[in-house]
Every structure is written in structure tokens, then in C-alpha cells.
Amino acid sequence: MHTPDWVQDAIFYQIFPDRFAKSNRNPSGNLPFEPWDSPPTIHGFKGGDLYGLTEKLDYLHNLGITAIYLNPIFASACNHRYHTFDYYNVDPLLGGNDALRVLLAEAHQRGMKIVLDGVFNHASRGFWQFHHVLETGAASPYRDWFHYDEDRLNGKKHWGAYPTKYEEDAIQREGTLKAIGYQAWWNLPPLPKFKTETPAVREFLFGVAEYWIQFGIDGWRLDVPTEINDDSFWQEFRRRVRAVNPEAYIVGEIWHESQRWLQGDQFDAVMNYLVTAAALPFFAGPRLKMNIVNQAGGIQGRVRSELSANDFADEIDRLLGLYQPEITRSQLNLLDSHDMPRFLSCVDGDQASLKLAWLFIMTIPGAPCIYYGDEIGLDGQHDPDCRKSFPWDESKWNRSLLDYLKAAISLRKDNLALRRGTFTRLWSADRVYAFGRALEGESLVVALNASEEPRPIEVPREAKENPKAFFGQPSDVTVVDGRLKFTVPARSGVVLK
């Protein structure tokens, strides 16, 4: 069992490249993009690029970020770039391969890692090998790269890559393989699904993974990896990637329990949406907007409308016990992402809920991940609203949120016990949850009060010295007979050391 050592200390920041920052250095910057501050649209481009991101690295460094997870950056005709045209070239709209080279150099100089989004389950209609088959049918040497209908391959029926209304109706009835001639991911015509049992396809995809690790990236976030239902594929993927860089991070986008993929031979971690699903109802309480939460299909049905402190604590204990400790410490703990409404919108704009949730993910095992713009109060319901452009006009920033997150990040970075220490549940009642983290003689108590009133609690205290408030404003702090007693203010969190 080996996960990259650096991940356990990392503070991640997820960026949707088209929406983060623009640069005058980008040769494509003079193309007609949508206005930066206009509402995002499903198909529109704002013109964010990797040069722009590079120019904002100091902002991220000052925030405390040490690792960046980028949504797909390879050539594509979609603003989200999950429809890959060319796996060996960064999209020209993002500045091309040179822009990534510059980003990597500048990030690494600051001690920051870069993890790319790998879309290896499906390509796009513009992908060369797929297009080759559309043009030449069974004569194409790429005919085994995707799942095709034999009648289309042999010219007995026409391809439906751009389906008519009749073909769209047929897709709903019988799926893309029969209706338009090839298997598409979730029957979406723009996304032909790779035939990953074909040796040439496997070699191509493993080659892509190796190439960008050699280029200098620090890991892969794998899009819908469970759709490649083949352990040997991911085992070989891991072997090939780790042979190039033994410390490369491999994290899968899996929204549910993932023991199958986290045995040490496939992924290091998954995006921990199960923590998201628990945090939302506990910290928000009656503010939770279930109609907005349920727009996120991946956690739909997993988020309760309310969650008591005891039930929340039970769920966190369960999640922390699912995997080996090294994997648990490498999990990507997040509150929201490009695939769901922003946390702030899910909790009806309540900033206290977000602050409590931030303190929580900064103090539990696993690498915390911040979705771009959350730190300055960016909101948004489901796609495309959760993919707004970052407002670089600082007058539009929520300074209270930004300052709080900076402090919470500093807390984690300054205390090794919060990153690598033991975890002990201490209190769960009256909408207050408390736990301890300890390492090499250093111990901290974290208490999170999601209620509307100040709450007194007491927890075991082994250390002889008097505890000090290290974060937040606890009151009435005393130690009596080996018990630490203190009061946690309403709707806030505290840390004592």
C-alpha cells in the first residue's frame, strides 16, 4: 500500500480552466468569446486559459494552495473539454502545450503540484481514429477502437453521429449502438465509448498517461473510471504511471464506496463525495435546499434532509474506516465541484454553514479540495451555473469568507497532527460534533457547533498543561478531573491545543 507522501499534506484547488483567468499572452485571446462577467451558458466559451492561471499562482499561493486539480485541458470542442479531440495537445484556446509547460514550471517553483483530468473512457466525434471509421467503415484499421454496429461498418446503413430528430427518438428507445451505429457513453452521441479490451486502444491510452507524466504533471484525476469495468486496465495504468513517477497521484471520480479500486493496486484515492453528502445536512440544518442538492445526480438519494450530530458522527466514523489509513489520509475531501451545485447555493447562501464545513475538511484525515471561487463567495446551481467565471474585481469578493478560509488552511498547514495524526471521536450531541487529532505528543480538540445556541461540552483531556484556544473563540475553558470543559459559540467551530 503506497500513496504519494505529498498528498497527505496537500491543499487542493479545483479549476475549470475556461472560467478562471484570461491572459493577454494567449495567441487565441483575440477570438470572440462571451463576455467574462455574463452568465455561463452550456456551450459558450469565456476564454480562460493556462497563461491566465499562471499569472494568478501568487493569489493561490497566498491562499495556501499547494496543489491544483484542473478539469480537462486537451483539445476539444466543448468548454468543459470532456469531449477529447486530441490527447497529445493542450487546447489552443487554453494556450497550447507551451502554456502548460509554463504553468508547470511556475507552479513547481512555488512548490505546487498540478493534477490533470484524464478522460479515458470515451473520446469525441472529432477524435481522429473515430472519424477515420466514419469515413471508411470496415476498411479502417481503427474499426476495433470503438463499439460499432456491423451494418454501419459495412455501409448497409448510414452513420448517425449527428442524429436527426427521428434518430434521437430511436436512441431513447434502443440506445446509440442500434440507433446511430456506435456505442456512446450514456447514449450521448458526442461521446463514443472506447473499446478498451482492444490492445491498440489500451496502449494508446497508457501512452497518453505516461506522456503527460513525463511532461511534468503530478498526477491524474480519472473521469468515470468505473465505466471501464476492468481491474486489469487500471492495474496496468497504475504500473505505467508509477514507473515514470513513483509519487504521481491517481484519484478516481467515484461517488460511492470504492473498496474495489482502493486495494493499493489501482487508485490512491477517490473524490470523497460521501463526505460532501454528510456535511451538507449537518452543517446547514434547516437551511439545506434539497431541491438544489438533488440537482447533483451523483449524490441524489445520499443526502438526508436533516442529520443529527450523533448520526453525522456515526457516518464519519464509517467513512474513516472504509479503507486503509494511508488511503484515508489521501482521499480528496471536497464540498462541491463542477458536477454539482455550489455548497453556498445548497445551503441557501448561509456563510456559517460553509465556514463550519471548511473547518471540518481542514481538520479531518484526507486532502481538502476547494472549488475555485468558493473562497470569495461565488454561488451557482447546477451546470452551467456552478461554472461561473471567477470575478477578479476584488470589490465583488466576500472578504469574511476569504479570510476565514485562509486561517483554516493555515491551521492545517501549521499542525502536522491535523494531516497525519490519529483521529478520535469525542462528542456528538445537541448538534455539536467534536473530535481529537494527535501525533507525537501533540494533540488538538476540534469542536463544531451547528446549532443556533452556544453549547457547553466536555471531552477527555490527558495533557497536563492548560489548553489554549488555537482557532475560534471558545469560552469557559476549564479542566476538571481529566475532563476538558468549554463552550462553543453558536454556528461556529473552535480548536483547542
Element at 413 (helix H, strand E): helix 399-414
Q: Clarify whether 174 is annotated catalytic.
A: no
pLDDT of residue 464: 64
Of 223, 315, 336, 350, which one is the catalytic site residue? 223
Set of cell numbers at residue 48? 480562460
> Is residue 253 flagged as an active site residue?
yes
Q: Give the model confidence (pLDDT) of 6-40 as tens digits.
A: 999 999 999 999 999 999 999 999 999 999 999 99
- Residues 255-276 have pLDDT tens digits of 999 999 999 999 999 999 999 9
> Looking at 117, 149, 218, 253, which residue is catalytic?
253
Amino acid 119: pLDDT = 98
Residue 127 and residue 192 in contact, taking contact as beta carbons nearer than 8 Å: yes
Mean pLDDT, all residues of the chain: 97
Per residue in 413-437, pLDDT tens?
999 999 999 999 999 999 999 999 9
In degrees and rounded to multiples of 5, residue 124 shows phi and psi of -140, 170
> What whole-number distance in Å separates Cα of residue 370 and Cα of residue 12?
6
Q: What is the pLDDT of residue 39?
A: 97
Instruction: Give the 3-state secondary structure of residue 20.
Output: coil
As a whole number, mean pLDDT of residues 172-183 equals: 98
How many helices and strands, by DSSP H and E, does the chain display? 17, 18
User: Whole-prediction pTM value?
Assistant: 0.97
Query: Average pLDDT in the 67-94 region?
Result: 98
Residue 221 is classified by DSSP as: E
State the cell numbers at 309.
450530530
Q: How confident is the model at residue 481 (pLDDT cuts 50, 70, 90)?
A: confident
